[in-house]
Amino acid sequence: MKKKKGPDPVDPQRSALMARVRQRQSKPELAAQRALCRLGIRFRLHSRQLPGTPDIVVPTANCAIFVHGCFWHRHEGCSKATIPKTRVLFWTDKFTRNVARDARKTRQLRKLGWRVITVWECQCKDFEKLERRLNRIISASKTKAIKKLS
């Protein structure tokens, strides 16, 4: 009698590693917060009133910022966006759902009039470049918001 083949067993070491991955206050997220603070831009964290619970919200510029991990959210062309060699089907499905959810939440926010900025984990390594990018995007958003009011 042949043994039924079920899903691949979960590796306890992999499970422990994944459990240690922070969802909030990760190093990339803290870098983005620090850049905004240095620029004097006021923000809120994890606004549950908005679709997708953006990591950072800049209400004065109507900007929602997501700080995505390259592995979990599949940053195209990034060396960190690898697929584990075990349980490939599980991971492929998980990543596909993550990307679809991200796109859906971005569409919902844009429909509500928010500008959505995605900051990738690997972009947080060069702090000055990150700071310049956030300043450029948020300054442009604030200008558009002021024009709408007048």
pLDDT in tens, 82-141: 998 888 999 999 999 999 999 999 999 999 999 999 999 999 999 999 999 999 998 888
Nearest to 25 by CA among 9, 51, 45: 45
Name the burial class of residue 40, with classes exposed (0-12), middle (13-18) and buried (19+) by CB atoms within 10 angstroms of its CB.
exposed
The answer regarding whether domain 25-149 maps to CATH 3.40.50.720 reads no
Residue 145's Cα: distance from chain center in Å? 24
Task: State yes or no: pLDDT of 146 exceeds 70.
Answer: no
Confidence of residue 56 (pLDDT cuts 50, 70, 90): very high
Digit-coded pLDDT (tens) for 2-32: 555 556 666 677 566 555 565 667 899 999 9
Listing DSSP states for 73-95 in one string gives: HT-TT-TT----SSSHHHHHHHH
Q: What is the mean pLDDT of residues 53-65?
A: 94
* pLDDT (0 to 100) of residue 18: 58
Q: Say how far apart CA 63 and CA 6 lie, in whole Å.
A: 45
Confidence of residue 33 (pLDDT cuts 50, 70, 90): very high
Handedness of CA 25, 120, 82, 100 (dihedral sign): positive
Q: Which one is predicted more confidently, 38 or 11?
A: 38
pTM comes to 0.79
